[in-house]
Amino acid sequence: MKPLCIPRLLALAALVFGILGCTDYGKVKVAFDERLPDSDDVATLIDQEKEDLSGFVPAGMAQKFVAAFVRLNSATVYRDVNPLELEKSMRALEIVAGRIYREDGEEAVRKLCYWLLRRFENDLDQLRKAIRQTTDGALAALEGLPAPEAIQDTYKKFVEVGGDFLRHASRAGLVIRDQKGGIELTRGARFFMRLAFKIRFSNIFPQDTKPLDWLLTDFEQKWYLIWVVERSQTAPLQRQLLSISRLKKIVADYPHLTARGIVNYKHQKYKEALEAFEAALKAHPRDDRLKALVSKAKRQATR
């Protein structure tokens, strides 16, 4: 996640639907229902990563990568850092990344990602425990402010692999302050934070190697596309439409027409939204929600 160098965490959209009545279409929001991955599938993924990671310890070029990764992440949380120094740190990390990919291969890079991800999760859990003992630690961590003295060491350790991750996770709705002043992960946040970490990691490597193809499993790639379509507030329309087309090919029952309508509507492309909703309604003529979406899009398209 970057101010300048590392991609920002994709923001989550507001995903709450009103209760749908048969004729009161005004209560229906043009938004996606909350969609979460199956917990058993997530557990299987994590177990496989643990098995793949067994016995792995960064050495040689991997150690150099970790050192460069830590330097860059640490720099992202300090606002007085010279932007040129950030760019220099990023370039140094990219050079090491290119070498480790060429010399050690994709499997070694995946293991390195899993190793850093495990450290990230462990350090996050330790930071959350430390924050519970403070009155202002959560605010500092989520807003990117200087950490209170009581948690400085723990926060510094987290920052080494997380950078300003928490600040962007907060904006995305993945983490919130709880009533006791701690940091709480929202529903499904653990999976999406792991996914975001891997996507950020992938951006360090040469893009002509298509790192997402070999770093993410098919399961994760599907959920990354769903994230772009249904949860991102920053993805360009064309990227969302392309992701919908890909989801249509890999998820047999994905409601691609409804999804096209929603993303077009959110980008104020009301004519295109209406066409998509009408096509979806034609395929499902008894669907009251689709009738409501057609009504809303038609109202906007004819203004």
Handedness of CA 160, 163, 166, 172 (dihedral sign): negative
Q: Give the pair of three-digit tokens for residue 7.
A: 């991609």
**Would you say 71 and 182 are in contact if contact means Cβ atoms under 8 Å apart?**
no
The predicted pLDDT at position 256 comes to 97
Question: 212-226, pLDDT tens digit by residue?
Answer: 999 999 999 999 999
pLDDT exceeds cutoff 50 at 52: yes
Output the pLDDT for position 167: 87
**Distance between terminal CA atoms of the chain?**
40
Whole-number pLDDT of residue 142: 87
pLDDT band at 25 (very low <50, low <70, confident <90, very high): low
Average pLDDT over residues 31-50: 96
> What local confidence, expressed as pLDDT, does residue 301 receive?
93
Mean pLDDT (whole number) for 38-66: 96
Average pLDDT, the chain: 88
At residue 4, the pLDDT reads 38
Alpha-carbon distance of 169 to 257, in angstroms, equals 30
Query: What are 104-120's pLDDT values in tens digits?
Result: 999 999 999 999 999 99
Q: Tell me how far apart the alpha carbons of residues 8 and 2 are, in angstroms, rounded to a whole number.
A: 6
Distance between alpha carbon 45 and the CA centroid of its chain, in Å?
Answer: 17
CA distance 199 to 63: 21
Q: Quick check: 147 and 153 in contact, CB under 8 A? A: no
The predicted pLDDT at position 80 comes to 65
